[in-house]
A and B are shown apart, each in its own frame.
Chain A
Amino acid sequence: MTADPMIPMPFRVVRQRHELRNVVTLTLEPEAGGRFSFQPGQFNMLYHFGMGEVPISVSGDPAKRRLRHTIRSVGAVTHALTRLRKGDGVGVRGPFGAPWPLAEAEGRDVVLAAGGLGMAPLRPVLYAVMARRERYGRVTLYYGARSPADILYRKQLERWGKRRGIDVRITVDKATPAWRGHVGVVTRLMSREHFAAGNTIAMLCGPEVMMRFSAQTLNRLGVSDGRIYLSMERNMQCGIGLCGHCQLGPTFICRDGPVYRLDEVLPLMKVRGL
C-alpha cells in the first residue's frame, strides 16, 4: 500500500483470461516492480483511469508475486476493466479489509462454501491451505453454481479435488444433459461425515441468502456461529471506513470486514433494509 491509501498504485495487465460469460481474471504487476502482499479475503479498489473505481476481492495465490482479480462485468467500470488487455494500465489501492481466519483454522477441519462468483474470494484460501496442507485437518469445498457453464475455475477445482487433498463438491441449480454431478442447492451437499463439527472452521462466500442458508445448515450439523465466517458485500468506495457508503449498522465493511464472524453480523443480517 502507498503511504496515502487514497492514491492508487500504477499496475499493468500482464494477462487477461476469459473465465465465464462476462467474467475475466486479470493478472497484474506493479509498474514499480516488487511484490504485492495481501491476505486471503482482502480486496483492492481497482481504478480504470477515466472511468472510476470498484472494490474487487483478490482471487490469486497469496504466495505469488503477481496480483489476480476475477471480475464480472455488471456496470460501466467493471465492463471497462474486463475489456483491458495485456499492457494496459490500471490503478490499485489496497489491500483493504479483514482476512479469512487462516491461523484460527490451523489444526481444524476447514469447510468452505461458495456460491456463484463467491468462489473468487475463497480461492486464495485454497492456495494458502494447499501450501501448508499438513497444518489443517479435512478440507471440504462446497460450491454451488447456476449451471455447469457458470462454474468458476472448474478445471482447476477438478484438478485440486483429485490430487491436492481437498474434497471438492460441486452442485448446480440447472443441469444440462451432459452434467453428471450434483443438482440442487449447495446446502444439500453438506454432511456431518465430511468434517468434525466441534473442530471445524467454516468460511462462506456468495449471495447473502446463500450464506444465511449455509450457516443455518452448518448450525444444524453442529458448527456454532462463532466458528462460521462470511464475506459481506456492500457499496465499498473509500476502502478505509471514511466515506460511510458501506456502513452496516455499527461497522464499515471495507474496514471491519469484509470477512466477519457470523455472530458479529447475524443480528444485522436480520434487519431489513440494512
Chain B
Amino acid sequence: MTVDRLMIEAVAAHPLFRDLPAAEQRAIAECTGETVFEDGAMLMRQGDQAEHFYLILYGMVALELHVPGRAPLVVETLGKDEVVGWSWLVPPYDAQFDARAVGMVRVLAIDAACLREKMARDHTLGFVFYQRFLPVIADRLHAARVQLMDIYSHPADYAEAPSAGKKRGKGKR
C-alpha cells in the first residue's frame, strides 16, 4: 500500500506513537488522514459506529452527553495531542459520547476498521495499541472519579447532608 510520507511523519511525531518502530508507524499511517473540523462540527455522535478515532493536532474538542430535555452536558474537554475516542476498540464499537469541535480543530483521523484489521493480522501491533490506550483510558477514569468528588466544595457543604433514610427537619443543622 502506498502511503504519503508526510502522513508517516505526522504519525511518528505524535507522542502516542513517537517511539514505535518505523514499520508500525507506517502501518498506522496507512489508516490515517488529516482532517479539519470547523467550530461546532461533530467528530462523532453518541450511539453511532465509531468509525474513526482522532489525535488532536490543534484546537479543543468537547465530549458531551445528551440528556433529553437538557442542554448537552460537557463532561470533559480534550486538547492538543490528546486522543478522542476509544469505543473503536470495544465491541460493538458504538461511540459513548458526542465529540464536538470547540473552535477550529485539526486532527489525525484514524480509520478504525482499517486499524482493527491490521491489529488482527499483526498481534504485535495489537498489543502495542492496547498497551498505549490502556493508560489513556485509566487516566480518563481517574480524572472522572476526581471530578465526581466535587473537590472544590467546602467540607461544610457536605457536613449538613442528612444521613440516609432521615428527612431533613427544621431543627438544628
Contacts and interface: CB of A to CB of B under 8 A. Distances in A.
Contacts of A72: 154
Contacts, number: 59
A115 B151 contact: yes
A205 to B, nearest CB: 12
A117 B154 CA distance: 9
Nearest to B82: A188
A70 interface: no
B77 A116 contact: no
A94 B77 CA distance: 42
A173 B152 contact: yes
Given A183-B77, A185-B147, A187-B143, A74 B154 contact: yes
Contacts of A74: 154, 156
B75 interface: yes
A145 B75 contact: no
* Size class of the B contact interface (CB-based, 8 Å): 20 to 34
Contacts of B103: 180
Interface in A111-166: 115-117, 144-146, 150
Contacts of B62: 183
Nearest to A147: B152
Interface string A64-94: 0000000010110000000000000000000
B151 A210 contact: yes
A177 interface: yes
Contacts of B71: 177
Contacts of A117: 152
B138 interface: no
Contacts of A188: 76, 143
A116 B155 CA distance: 12
B74 interface: yes
Interface of B: 60, 62, 71-77, 79, 81, 102-103, 143, 146-147, 149-154, 156
Interface of A: 72, 74-75, 115-117, 144-146, 150, 171, 173, 175, 177, 179-185, 187-188, 191, 206-207, 209-210, 213
Given A173-B150, A210-B152, 15 more contacts: A115-B151, A115-B152, A146-B153, A173-B152, A175-B74, A180-B102, A181-B77, A184-B77, A184-B143, A184-B147, A187-B143, A206-B151, A207-B151, A209-B146, A210-B151
